[in-house]
Amino acid sequence: MKIVKIILQILGILVLIPAVAMATLRFEKSDGDGPSIIFPGGALVSGELHTGPEPDWSFTADVDTIELELDDADTSRLIWIMDAEGRAFIASGYMDNFLGRLWKHWAVDVDAGADLAVVRIGDTRYERRLVRIRKGDILDGVAASLIRKYAGGNVTPQGIAGMRAAIESGSTWIFELAPRS
Amino acid sequence: MKAKTYLITCVAVAAATVLGILFVPGIAEIFETVLLVFLMTNAR
């Protein structure tokens, strides 16, 4: 009986450490100007707000991650960006299971209608509307960009088809960074 | 370990974790990396 008690006490401490760490990290990051890898940051404050004509988003081909802030939440997170046909897209993976949706709850919020966002790329902020893309040939370009930048770089027709299937099945959600107006 | 000693140990471990993350350079990044690997491995 004593050994069971000792094991339970050790397990308790092993659960306590990550729980406290996560709470601390979340608190520490919550009011910063921008996010960390996992934990959301505060509103994006610094950086010039883009005005003028719609940019050609193909410049994001060389950008690894951008910072995304949802207007409704005033929180920000790091996220991948893909370009296709001069348009920009972001992805949310692991969306076909509970843990993934918990991790990427921002995507659930956007899909539910909280679609106004600000993205910061370098030192420039862009006001955008996130539009979920479920089907269409544009997804081939998005899939190719996703593979090229984040999945090993070997873009093949089979790879594109597999990625597009993941998108169309709802495993990966794709949102376009569309203009607000 | 008696209950009182255990609770004191838990408080000490929690305090050390918080202080380590807030004030020791690199600790926060290590925790975050471990968590990222866990999520990437299990959220599928």
Residue A85: closest CA among A154, A159, A165, A178: A178
Q: How far apart are CA B5 and CA A108, in angstroms?
A: 44
What number is the average pLDDT over the span A56-61? Answer: 95
- CA of B12 to nearest chain A CA: how many angstroms apart? 11
- CA of B25 to nearest chain A CA: how many angstroms apart? 13
Q: How many domains does chain A have?
A: 1
Provide the pLDDT for residue A32. Answer: 82
Q: How many helices (H) and strands (E) does chain A have?
A: 5, 8
Residue-wise pLDDT for A100-155, tens only, equals 888 788 899 999 999 999 999 999 999 999 999 999 999 999 999 999 999 888 89
- CA of A164 to nearest chain B CA: how many angstroms apart? 17
Interchain contact B3–A (C-beta under 8 A): no
* Contacting B residues, span 5-44, partner chain A, CB-CB under 8 Å: 6, 9-10, 13-14, 17-18, 21-22, 28, 31-33, 35-36, 39, 42-44
Does A11 map to a domain? no
Provide the pLDDT for residue B43. Answer: 66
- CA of A181 to nearest chain B CA: how many angstroms apart? 36
Given pLDDT bands bounded at 50, 70 and 90, which one contains residue A57? very high
Provide the pLDDT for residue B44. Answer: 61
Give me the percent of chain A exceeding a pLDDT of 90: 69
Are B35 and A12 inside 8 Å of each other by CB? no
Residue A148: closest CA among A137, A160, A139: A160
Provide the pLDDT for residue A100. Answer: 80
Residue A110: closest CA among A129, A125, A93, A84: A129
Provide the pLDDT for residue A160. Answer: 94
Question: What residues are paired with A49 via a beta bridge?
Answer: A125
What is the domain extent for residue A135? 31-178
What number is the average pLDDT over the span A14-20? Answer: 93
Does A113 map to a domain? yes
Residues of chain B with pLDDT under 50: none
Two tokens at A119?
């993205």
B44 or A97, higher pLDDT:
A97
Q: How far apart are CA A3 and CA A28, in angstroms?
A: 37
Are B22 and A28 inside 8 Å of each other by CB? yes
Two tokens at A66?
């951008």
Amino acid at A178: A
Provide the pLDDT for residue B1. Answer: 75
Does A18 map to a domain? no
Does A54 map to a domain? yes
Chain B, nearest residue to A16 by Cα: B14
Given pLDDT bands bounded at 50, 70 and 90, which one contains residue A36? confident
Does A21 map to a domain? no
Provide the pLDDT for residue A154. Answer: 86
Q: Please list every residue in chain B whose beta carbon sits closer than 8 Å to the beta carbon of residue A41.
A: none
Supply the DSSP symbol for A123.
T
Amino acid at A40: P
User: What CATH number is given to the structural domain containing A159?
Assistant: 2.30.110
